[in-house]
């Protein structure tokens, strides 16, 4: 199935719509004619984050709520053709401090979304996984049959969420597909992730870039490519009850990534180890490299933005939005 399906006239729910990937997905869906319900986490103040530019757009309905509330989730899902479930508690370091919160939001929240999709007979639910569920690669590149290894409370909660979603396919024939992005990056990403962390330090004028381990490798995928993968998965019948990796098939070490970011930013800096940014030894994922064959062959999707171009675009965005970052503080 092509990634250029017609979304005109479809009512689509995006949970976690205020987030980095979610807001990018909302923009792409609108560009292809969809009517979007944007489910955002309730806050007692008016800030709408990455959806602020859509507040007066009649094609977007902003719904405040919490995926832990089954009633509110059910109301949001009713009448939707497709549900993209991105809402999650993310960030690995914080999961060491508050693992129970990850279970409640990621596992129970996914159960609530899946049950609402079943109750209201949606055409397709697309559930968001993460490459962190694989842990350190036992074989590379990693395909969808790779063992799941819960090396952090975050990854454990996402494994639980994935299994919850897929159980609804096996038990209830819920039309659900699990997409598993590999280290998405790009404009709008928060400082908790490595690329904006490095860029914020660089554009703030730092001459020493503080990082944790430099040796792990990652497969970085530009955010618009990830969002297109979600849309492609939503219209692929072969992907029902299946998992699709969304990655580039290219890996780079964190150390080499930092050097590439220094070059992309046009700054001059050296790398410095910061022990506070290290994961516990048994929790560090040393290698992630995707095999995206299934997504390419089943849906026609493939990444379009090179790492070099993506890093340049991300650098420009961070430089223009440096007020959103606190370069001198480690954000978990």
Segments forming the whole domain that contains residue 176: 11-186+220-249
Q: What is the pLDDT of residue 327?
A: 65
Interval 90-144: pLDDT, tens: 989 899 999 999 999 999 999 999 999 999 999 999 999 999 999 999 999 999 9
Question: CA-to-CA distance for 256 and 252, rounded, in angstroms?
Answer: 6
Question: CA-to-CA distance for 79 and 112, rounded, in angstroms?
Answer: 16
At residue 332 the predicted structure's pLDDT band, cuts being 50, 70 and 90, is very low
Q: Is residue 294 part of a domain?
A: no
Inform me whether the pLDDT recorded for 314 exceeds 90: yes
Q: Is residue 309 part of a domain?
A: no
The 8-class DSSP code of residue 54 comes to G
Q: Is residue 148 part of a domain?
A: yes
Q: Work out the average pLDDT over 50-69.
A: 94
Identify the residue whose tokens are 């690995």. 92
Helix (H, G, I), strand (E, B) or coil at 100: helix
Over the Cα atoms of the chain, what is R_g? 19
Question: CA-to-CA distance for 216 and 96, rounded, in angstroms?
Answer: 20
Report residue 290: phi and psi, to 5°. Answer: -90, 150
Q: Work out the average pLDDT over 145-151.
A: 97
Cα angle at 134 between 237 and 275, to 5 degrees? 140
Q: Is residue 278 part of a domain?
A: no
Number of domains in the chain: 1
Identify the residue whose tokens are 């493939």. 302
Q: Is residue 296 part of a domain?
A: no
Q: Is residue 113 part of a domain?
A: yes
Q: Work out the average pLDDT over 45-53.
A: 78
Active-site entry in 134, 154, 185, 222: 154
Q: What is the CATH number of the domain that holds 182?
A: 3.40.50.720
Inform me whether the pLDDT recorded for 196 exceeds 60: yes
φ/ψ bin of 216: left (φ > 0), alpha (ψ from -120 to 50), beta (otherwise) = beta
Q: What is the mean pLDDT of the chain?
A: 93
At residue 276 the predicted structure's pLDDT band, cuts being 50, 70 and 90, is confident
Helix (H, G, I), strand (E, B) or coil at 330: coil
φ/ψ bin of 125: left (φ > 0), alpha (ψ from -120 to 50), beta (otherwise) = beta
Identify the residue whose tokens are 């390419």. 296
At residue 1 the predicted structure's pLDDT band, cuts being 50, 70 and 90, is very low
Q: Is 154 a catalytic residue?
A: yes
Q: Is residue 308 part of a domain?
A: no
Q: What is the pLDDT of residue 4?
A: 47
């Amino acid at each position: 199935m092509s990634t250029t399906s017609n979304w005109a006239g479809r009512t689509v729910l995006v949970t976690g719509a205020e987030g980095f990937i979610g807001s990018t997905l909302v923009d792409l869906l609108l560009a292809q004619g969809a009517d979007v319900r944007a489910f955002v986490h309730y806050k007692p103040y008016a800030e709408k984050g990455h959806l602020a530019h859509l507040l007066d757009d009649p094609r977007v309905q902003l719904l405040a709520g919490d995926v832990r509330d089954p009633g509110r989730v059910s109301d949001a899902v009713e009448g939707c053709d497709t549900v993209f479930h991105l809402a999650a508690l993310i960030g690995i370091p914080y999961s060491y401090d508050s693992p129970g919160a990850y279970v409640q939001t990621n596992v129970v929240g996914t159960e609530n979304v899946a049950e609402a999709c079943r109750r209201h007979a949606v055409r397709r639910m697309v559930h968001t996984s993460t490459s962190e569920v694989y842990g350190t690669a036992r074989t590379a590149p990693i395909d969808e049959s790779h063992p799941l290894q819960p090396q952090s409370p975050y990854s454990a909660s996402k494994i639980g969420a994935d299994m919850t979603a897929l159980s609804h396919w096996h038990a209830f024939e819920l039309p659900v597909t699990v997409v598993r992005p590999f280290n998405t990056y790009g404009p709008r990403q928060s400082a908790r992730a490595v690329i904006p962390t490095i860029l914020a330090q660089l554009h703030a004028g730092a001459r020493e870039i503080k990082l944790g381990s430099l040796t792990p490798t990652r497969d970085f995928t530009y955010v618009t490519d990830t969002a297109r993968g979600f849309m492609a998965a939503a219209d692929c019948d072969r992907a029902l009850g299946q998992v699709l990796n969304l990655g580039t098939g290219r890996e780079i070490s964190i150390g080499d990534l930092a050097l590439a970011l220094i070059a992309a930013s046009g700054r001059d800096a050296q790398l410095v180890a910061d022990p506070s940014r290290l994961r516990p030894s048994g929790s560090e994922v040393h290698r992630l490299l995707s095999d995206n064959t299934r997504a390419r062959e089943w849906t026609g999707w493939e990444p379009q933005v090179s790492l070099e171009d993506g890093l340049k675009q991300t650098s420009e965005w961070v430089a223009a939005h440096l007020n959103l970052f606190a370069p001198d503080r480690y954000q978990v």
